[in-house]
Structure 1
Amino acid sequence: MIIGFIGFGKVSKNILNLIKSEDITFITSIENRSEKTVENIKKCEIEILDTFKSVASKSDVIISANSPKNALAVAKEYGKYVKGIYLDLNNISPDTTFEISKHVDNFVDGAIIGKIDSENPILYISGEMADNLLFLNEFIETKKISDNIGDVAILKLLRSCYTKTLSAILIESTEIAKSHYLEDEFFEIMSLTEGEDFRQKSLSRIKNTLNSSQRKSEELEEIIDYFNENELTMVKAALEKLSR
C-alpha cells in the first residue's frame, strides 16, 4: 500500500512516525515547498516524487494536511488525479468539506484529536468510504462516526470553539497575572481546582497558540462563517485577540 501526503507539517510527520509497516510505503513531493519543509521531509523515511500530481495518482490513500485556507484549492488541483481514498485532515468547515467532496471521489472527512505529536492520538473519520481506513486501527486508534460527509467537520469546529476560545482566555489571564507580578501564584491557585499539571499544560497551549496564531485564526473564521446563526460572542472575541 502507498500512502501519500499533500502538505507535510507536524500532523503528517507524526502519522509517518506512528504507522510502521513493511507493507506501507509513504510518498510526498517537495514541489514548491519552503526550505524548512524540504529540510524536514528529507530527514524522514519517505519517498520524494517530483510533483504532487504524481503523489496523488500513485497513492492508495492520499492525506491532505496543510491548512484550512488551502484545503479546497488542494482538492481542486489534485483531487481529480486520486484513484484511491482522499482523506482530508484540515480543520475546515462542513461547507468546505461538502465542496471538496464535489471535486474528489472516495472522499473521507477526518480529524486527528489529541496533541499533534502525541503517541496516542485518535483519528475520527466519516463518509461512505471511511470503512476502508479502519485498517489504520493497527497503528492509530481510528473511529468511524458515520457515513455522512461533514459530521467529523462539525465535531472539529465544535472542539475548536472550545479550545481556541480557552487559549485566548489563558493568554489574557496570564498577561494580567504577569503585569501584577503574580504569575506563579495565579497558576498555583488554578492548579488547586484544575489539576497539578495545569501550569505545564497551559503554558504549552499558550506557546502553541502564539506560534500558530494565523492558522488558528483561520479556523475561528471557519467557525464563525458556518455557525453564523448561532451566538458566537466568545469565539468572535477570541478571533479578535488572536488577530492582535
Structure 2
Amino acid sequence: MDTIMTEPVIAIISLGDMGTQISRVLIENKFRVITAGEGRSEKTLENIHNTGVENTGSLKDTVEKAEVIISLTSPERSLRLAENTAMCLKDSENRPLYIDLNSNTSAVALSIEKLLTQIHIPFLNGAVMGTSKDIPYTAELVISGVNRNKFFDLFGNLFKIKDAGEKTEAASAYKLLFSLVNKGVNALFFETMTAAAHFGILDELNKSLEDFLPGTYQDLLKTTPTYPQHIFRRIDEMKGLSEMLKNENLPNVIASGTAETFDKVYHSSIFENEKPQGVLETFQIFKKLKYT
C-alpha cells in the first residue's frame, strides 16, 4: 500500500487506558477505530463497547482490515506483538503503517523496524509523554523515523506531536532520557530517605529539604506518589536506558544507579499495599525500611 487515504481504518492494539483515550479522540474526528477483542477480559470488552471501538475479533482479522496499526502495549510485550502482527500479515496483501508508541529501548525499536520492513510493512517509532488523561491536551506524542510525515498528515491536527527526527531510535532515546531526569530525582530522594530512616532523622531532614527545595518538592508531587504501584516497571525502564547508553559508549552511572535504587526499594516490599496521597506520605513509608 503506497498511500494512506484520508481517515483510514485505525487498529489500536491493545486497548488499555492510553489506547482508549486515543481512540476517543480518533472517533470524535470521524476515524473508524478497530481492535482485537479476542481473549481480552470482560472489563476490556466493556470498555471497547463503551468507547465506540469496533471489536473485530482476532489479531489476524483486525490487522488485515487496518490501514494504520497503533501498538499500545507494554515495552516488554511490544516486540512480541510486532512478531505476531508480522506473522498475521506475512501472506496478506495488506501492508498497513505500523506505529509503535510503547517507549521501547533503541534496540527494541530497531528490532521491530527490521522485522517489519523485511516484509515491507512501513514502521514508525514513538512514545507518549504524559498520562492517558492528558490526551490530547498536554500529552505529547514523540515520533521518529522516515515515515513520520505520514503521522503528521493523519494526526497533526488532533494531538500534540513532537518530531524527534529521521533516526528510528530517536523517539526512544528522547522518552528514556526525559524519564531519567524525573526518575533520577526520585531515586536521589529515595536513597536519601533510606539513609535518613536508618539514622532516625527522616522527619527532620524531610522538613529541611521541603523548606529549602520547595520547587523540587512541587515537581515531585506529579510523580512520587505513583511509585508504590509502578516502581517495578521503572526498574526495567532504567535498566533499558542504562544498556542503551552503554552500547553507545555514553555515561550511564546515573541510569544504572537509578535502576539499582528502585530495585532495592522494590525488593524491600515497603511499598506493598501502600497508596500514598502525596510526597511526604510517600517518604514516610521509608520508616518501614530495614537494611541488615
> Match for 1:49 among 38, 41, 56?
56
CA distance in 2, matches of 1:29, 1:108: 21
CA distance in 2, matches of 1:233, 1:163: 15
**1:99 to partner: Cα distance:** 0.9
**1:49 to partner: Cα distance:** 2.0
Residue 167 of structure 2 corresponds to residue 148 of structure 1: yes
CA distance in 2, matches of 1:43, 1:189: 48
> Match for 1:19 among 20, 26, 48?
26
**1:188 to partner: Cα distance:** 4.0
CA distance in 1, matches of 2:83, 2:227: 29
> Match for 1:242 among 262, 275, 279?
262
> Match for 2:138 among 120, 130, 148?
120
Indicate how the Cα distance of structure 1 residues 204 and 84 shifts in structure 2: closer, same or farther if over 3 A, else same.
Answer: same
Moved more, 55-64 or 20-29: 20-29
Identical residues among aligned pairs (%): 22
Indicate how the Cα distance of structure 1 residues 180 and 146 shifts in structure 2: closer, same or farther if over 3 A, else same.
Answer: closer
Q: What residue in structure 2 maps to residue 206 of structure 1?
A: 224
> Match for 2:73 among 66, 70, 73?
66
**1:89 to partner: Cα distance:** 0.7
Indicate how the Cα distance of structure 1 residues 120 and 179 shifts in structure 2: closer, same or farther if over 3 A, else same.
Answer: same
Paired letter, 2:112: I
Q: What residue in structure 1 maps to residue 126 of structure 2?
A: 110
Q: What residue in structure 1 maps to residue 270 of structure 2?
A: none
Q: What residue in structure 1 maps to residue 37 of structure 2?
A: 30
Indicate how the Cα distance of structure 1 residues 72 and 152 shifts in structure 2: closer, same or farther if over 3 A, else same.
Answer: same
Q: What residue in structure 1 maps to residue 85 of structure 2?
A: 78
> Match for 1:132 among 142, 150, 166?
150
Indicate how the Cα distance of structure 1 residues 167 and 7 shifts in structure 2: closer, same or farther if over 3 A, else same.
Answer: farther
Q: What residue in structure 1 maps to residue 202 of structure 2?
A: 180
Paired letter, 2:229: N
Q: TM-score, normalised by structure 2?
A: 0.72
CA distance in 2, matches of 1:211, 1:84: 35
Q: Describe the superposition over 1:52-74 as per-residue Cα deviations: whole angstroms up to 9, x where unpaired.
A: 22222212211111111111111
Q: Describe the superposition over 1:15-70 as per-residue Cα deviations: whole angstroms up to 9, x where unpaired.
A: 22333545301111233334554454344221112112222221221111111111
Secondary structure at the aligned position of 1:123 is classed as strand
Moved more, 88-97 or 170-179: 170-179
CA distance in 2, matches of 1:161, 1:28: 33
Paired letter, 2:244: Y
Secondary structure at the aligned position of 1:157 is classed as helix
Secondary structure at the aligned position of 2:221 is classed as helix
Paired letter, 2:122: N
CA distance in 1, matches of 2:236, 2:98: 22
**1:151 to partner: Cα distance:** 1.7
Residues paired across the two proteins, number: 239
Highest relative contact order (Cα 8 Å, sep 6+), 1 or 2? 1
**1:215 to partner: Cα distance:** 2.0
Greater C-alpha Rg: 2
Decide whether the 8 Å contact of 1:126 with 1:146 is kept in 2: yes
CA distance in 2, matches of 1:73, 1:100: 9
Moved more, 71-80 or 20-29: 20-29
Q: What residue in structure 2 maps to residue 166 of structure 1?
A: 185
Q: TM-score, normalised by structure 1?
A: 0.85
Is there any run of 5+ residues in structure 2 with no aligned partner, and where?
A: 1-7, 267-292
